[in-house]
Chain A
Amino acid sequence: MKQVNPIERDDSSRGDPLEILSNIRQAAPDGFTQRVMNRLPEMPATPRAVWWPSGWGWAAPALTGSLAALLLVWLLGAPAQIETDPARITVTFELHAPDVNQVEIVGDFTGWQVGQIVLEGPDPTGHWTTRLELPAGRYEYTFLIDGETWMPDPNAVIRRPDGFGHMNSVIHL
């Protein structure tokens, strides 16, 4: 039995299919479209999507987001600040001066101003000491004994004429 493919079916005897279809097509009754539309339930209008929210409902989430962002920036920034902070080195300055009333240290780290770093002492062996934490670098300084006598640090290896008739000590940390 011969299988007939519907597409390949020979309809030539019945005429052009498009023409046949256009002949059997009936026009819709008058007012059909309007009646259909009238029966459809009324839908609420969809608002246009906008990038900025209306009203004040957005304020709380936005503020929360801002605070979260600030917290994140602070958390990320804090370690960076620690990393860039120059390492500080502890250094002890000492002077053996059993017969004096006060020993002060003056130099680059005091901006050459008096009254900032007074050494503690004397201890029973006559030593005056102070401990400072300074960033790595080069420092020039001198001791001021009883507010009137300038004296370079006898423990410092490097000394430099100060241009005013005295010697300053130089330390590298």
Chain B
Amino acid sequence: MKLIPYKLLYGFLTTTALGWIPLSSAESPVHHMLSEREITGHDAKRILQAFENVSGQGLCAEPLRERLREGFLKDANSEALATAIEKRASSLLDAQSIIGSRPGIGRGGEMVPGLHRTLARALESGLPPDIFLDLFADPERVVAYREQALIEAAEMLFLSEVDPEDIKRFMHEALDRQLRRMEILRAAQFWIRQQAEGISAAGIHSRLWGNPHATPVQGGGMGRRMLDQQ
């Protein structure tokens, strides 16, 4: 019976300490940034909650701080700022979820900072997550250094209004042909230029990858030649 007050006291102190740590380590600078800009109330709470969600998952909050600085720099109102921060936080968490759930992405599922950030940006731009879930499902096909370029190319194509299904096909072709980073990016740029000239997706696909019925090796050769001619 005598131990109960000590246990209660111990529990109280532990909870207080654990609750205090993130506030001091991660959110204090954010509190400071928000109070300097006189952002209070509901929008401030949304922003702080987003930081807490990201830090709570063990993720680096720097992308959120960058977004905050960008918003401050552009004199964004508090509502737009909160929405932007929430969106970035959500994309960071979604990216972590994709990387964590797919054995084929990253190095054995480990968190690769650059890859995580790139994937988060792509998701933030509006790319459907299923593109990546499908693409990185097979660990045998994926090489870690190539993933980041594939994600960047996918985002590039998406922002250029290429259909998500065509993006998916593009990524599979690039993966099958074992293209290197610069080849992947150049292929995406080639697609965007061709699209701007009014060429259909099927036409670009054919020009870029050659015979759609070719084996990956034969097709890869054609794709490479096409890129080398640029």
Q: How far is the CA of A163 from the CA of B118 in the complex (A)?
A: 18
Q: How far is the CA of A137 from the CA of B145 in the complex (A)?
A: 12
Flag whether B73 is at the interface (Cβ < 8 A): yes
Contact assessment for A111 and B66 in the assembled complex, using a CB-CB cutoff below 8 Å: yes
- What are the residues of chain B within 8 A of A158 when measuring CB–CB? 156, 159-160, 192
CB-based nearest A residue for B88: A163
Mask: chain A, 147-173; 1 = CB below 8 Å from B; 0 = not: 000100000011110111110001010
Contact assessment for A162 and B152 in the assembled complex, using a CB-CB cutoff below 8 Å: no
Contact assessment for B155 and A164 in the assembled complex, using a CB-CB cutoff below 8 Å: no
B71 CB contact (under 8 Å) in A106, A114, A164: A164
CB-based nearest A residue for B67: A112
In A47-96, which residues have CB < 8 Å from any B CB?
none
In B122-166, which residues have CB < 8 Å from any A CB?
125, 148, 152-153, 155-156, 159-160
CB-based nearest A residue for B196: A157
Contact assessment for A170 and B83 in the assembled complex, using a CB-CB cutoff below 8 Å: no
Given A137-B114, A172-B156, are A160 and B125 neighbors across the interface (CB < 8 Å)?
yes
In B62-106, which residues have CB < 8 Å from any A CB?
66-67, 69-71, 73-74, 76, 80-81, 83-84, 87
- Centre residue among A112, A137, A140 by max chain B CB count within 10 A: A112
Q: How far is the CA of A113 from the CA of B74 in the complex (A)?
A: 11
Flag whether A134 is at the interface (Cβ < 8 A): no
Contact assessment for A163 and B84 in the assembled complex, using a CB-CB cutoff below 8 Å: yes
Distance between A81 CB and nearest chain B CB, rounded to angstroms: 18
Contact assessment for B155 and A159 in the assembled complex, using a CB-CB cutoff below 8 Å: no
Could you say which interface size class chain B belongs to?
20 to 34
Contact assessment for A138 and B83 in the assembled complex, using a CB-CB cutoff below 8 Å: no
Interface residue tally for chain A (C-beta within 8 Å): 22
Which secondary structure dominates where chain B touches chain A? helix
Given A138-B118, A164-B84, are A170 and B70 neighbors across the interface (CB < 8 Å)?
no
Contact assessment for B71 and A138 in the assembled complex, using a CB-CB cutoff below 8 Å: no
Flag whether B121 is at the interface (Cβ < 8 A): yes
Flag whether B55 is at the interface (Cβ < 8 A): no
Q: How far is the CA of A172 from the CA of B153 in the complex (A)?
A: 9
Distance between A8 CB and nearest chain B CB, rounded to angstroms: 82
Flag whether A100 is at the interface (Cβ < 8 A): no
B181 CB contact (under 8 Å) in A136, A159, A160: A136
Contact assessment for A112 and B192 in the assembled complex, using a CB-CB cutoff below 8 Å: no
Q: How far is the CA of A101 from the CA of B128 in the complex (A)?
A: 42
- Centre residue among A137, A170, A172 by max chain B CB count within 10 A: A172
Mask: chain A, 114-154; 1 = CB below 8 Å from B; 0 = not: 10000000000000000000001110100000000010000
Flag whether B174 is at the interface (Cβ < 8 A): no
Contact assessment for A164 and B70 in the assembled complex, using a CB-CB cutoff below 8 Å: yes
Given A137-B114, A163-B87, A170-B159, are A150 and B74 neighbors across the interface (CB < 8 Å)?
yes
- What are the residues of chain B within 8 A of A172 when measuring CB–CB? 152-153, 156, 185
Extra 14 A-B pairs, beta carbons < 8 Å, given A164-B80, A164-B81: A112-B69, A113-B73, A114-B73, A137-B148, A137-B152, A138-B152, A150-B74, A158-B159, A160-B125, A162-B70, A163-B71, A163-B83, A170-B159, A172-B156
28 A-B pairs with C-beta separation under 8 A: A111-B69, A112-B66, A112-B67, A113-B69, A113-B73, A136-B181, A137-B118, A137-B148, A138-B118, A138-B121, A140-B121, A158-B159, A158-B192, A159-B159, A160-B125, A160-B159, A162-B70, A163-B71, A163-B83, A163-B87, A164-B74, A165-B76, A165-B80, A166-B74, A170-B155, A170-B156, A170-B159, A172-B153
Leading 7 A-B pairs by shortest Cβ distance: A164-B76, A112-B70, A163-B84, A112-B69, A164-B74, A138-B152, A172-B185
